[in-house]
Amino acid sequence: MILTYYIVSTLLVIAYLLGSIPSAVWIGKRYYGIDIREHGSKNAGTTNMLRVLGRRAAIPVFALDFLKGFVAVTIIDLVKYDEVFAQAPNENWFYVLRFAALFCAVLGHIFPIFAGFRGGKGVATLVGGVVAVNAPLVLLCAGVWLIVLMISHYVSLASMIAGLCYPIFTLTSPKVGHLPPFIVFSFVVAILLIYTHRKNIKRLKEGTESKIYIWKPRKVRLEEQELKAREQADESLEEAIEELVEEFCEDNKEE
């Protein structure tokens, strides 16, 4: 029995340490020379990486954060080889342990020990863990997320609505709708997503939340091109003024 507790505790600690790997922080510092937590929404996650550094930076961050949750939940299956859990009458305990591991991984992402306990919202890590538990429900939520994103262009809003749909899909699922641990977990997921997006909710109310376009409308592309052209023109003007000032100072020195 003591060995069982030791194994479970060790796996949960490993789950937290996996979640604490600050992929966005490390990639931002190593390849772009910035701390992503000091830019954009100051969140160490995929959306902020996409907003600040683009897709090339965001894709590996999402993949690594997803894997953190997936691996953290998958390794819990090792307890099946323990005699105590091998004699369990049903799978409820296994679901409880999987959810506990996922909670530890998400907690690690939000409060990473390797990055001064300043992390992200844990959405990608949460998705990875939930996929490891039950992939079909995640696919349904992913469909909701994509539809809301295409309509609103707000990643935060899409994530929250998809999270709120998760308990609904769970309750209507013939496979897991009768399992109390799974039902409780689905509501915890929804509440956790709302809580971690509280700053986004405030920005949505104020109309200051940034939009992300999967396929940018022509009008948006033109606006971005105009903005870039104006920025380049301003930089050229500043350089020209600096050159004139330098020439003027040199002429005065010669006189």
d(CA 139, CA 131): 8
What is the rounded average pLDDT of the residues 63-87?
A: 83
Residue-level pLDDT at 50: 85
What is the crossing angle of helices 123-133 and 135-152, to 10°? 140
pLDDT at 218 over 60: no
pLDDT at 83: 67
Q: What is the pLDDT of residues 114-172, one digit of tens each?
A: 999 999 888 899 889 989 988 899 899 999 999 999 898 888 899 899 999 999 999 99
Please compute the mean of the pLDDT values over residues 75-85 and round it to a whole number.
75
Summary mean pLDDT of the chain: 84
H-type helices in the chain, by residue range?
2-19, 23-32, 46-53, 55-74, 83-86, 92-110, 123-133, 135-152, 155-171, 180-196, 198-206, 218-254
pLDDT for position 157: 92
162 token code pair:
């998809």
Instruction: Give the pLDDT mean for 178-189.
Output: 87
Among residues 78, 73, 102, 128, the alpha carbon closest in space to that of 185 is found at 102
122 in Cβ contact with 196 (< 8 Å): yes
Q: What does pTM read for this prediction?
A: 0.70
**Mean pLDDT throughout 193-222?**
77
* 30-72 per-position pLDDT tens digit: 999 999 999 888 889 888 898 888 889 999 999 999 999 999 9
